[in-house]
Amino acid sequence: MPGASLRQLPATIKRLVGRIWRREARPAREHAHPPALCYNGWRGEREGQPGDQFAMTILRALAHLIAACLIAVLLAWPPGPAAADETDFQRIISEQIAAFQADDGAKAFSFAAPVIRQKFAAPDIFMQMVKTGYAPVYRPRSYAFGAVTKELNGRPTQRVRIIDEQGQMWTALYAFEQQPDGSWLIAGVVLVREPGGEV
């Protein structure tokens, strides 16, 4: 009878919904646990199943991310000075020291970067500053070149070991600045007295 059929309809719908729910929920229950990590890679519940595909996707994404980070670091990392630049640093320092020893202020001043020339407007002012504040550089007994670093504000920095006229040892840090034409000039010098370094 139609009335009986209508009364049975809710129960029929419940059975159908229950079957659909069980069929759709079965994969979810099978995938409820994360794939296990084994020595030969990620593996799902069966070879070739979504667990493997998902793990491979994650690994590829991580590999791309790591590669992108390495490229970014390499591009951002400032290149070190070339061997030719180090030769220029040592030549410039040697020629400036020779100019100091000859009291040739104009030549000594010519090796100074624009920032130094602006601070000390004339060679005689520059020479007076060197005599009073940088005597080991002005009149060294001897000197020897060390490594090139970037310890002074990230600039190429030539380390020089100096022995002054009294036999005291110093480390002079010469910071260099590259000019638009590609040449190098001295942008600053820091003197560090070596403790107990008398010779």
At 9-19, the pLDDT tens digits run: 456 555 654 55
Same domain, 35 and 109: no
Domain count within the chain: 2
End residue of a domain, out of 49, 76, 103? 76
Q: Which residues pair with 164 in a beta bridge?
A: 140
pTM, 2 dp: 0.60
Q: What angle do CA 19, 23, 28 make, to 5 degrees?
A: 135
End residue of a domain, out of 20, 45, 76? 76
End residue of a domain, out of 76, 103, 120? 76
Same domain, 127 and 104: yes
Same domain, 123 and 106: yes
Confidence of residue 62 (pLDDT cuts 50, 70, 90): confident
**Which among 27-41, 58-72, 180-194 has the top mean pLDDT?**
180-194
Confidence of residue 116 (pLDDT cuts 50, 70, 90): very high
Same domain, 134 and 165: yes
Q: Which residue range(s) make up the domain with 113?
A: 83-198
Mention every residue, 6+ apart, whose C-beta is less than 8 A from residue 41: 52, 55
Domain harbouring 180, CATH code: 3.10.450.50
What's the token pair of residue 18?
């229950």
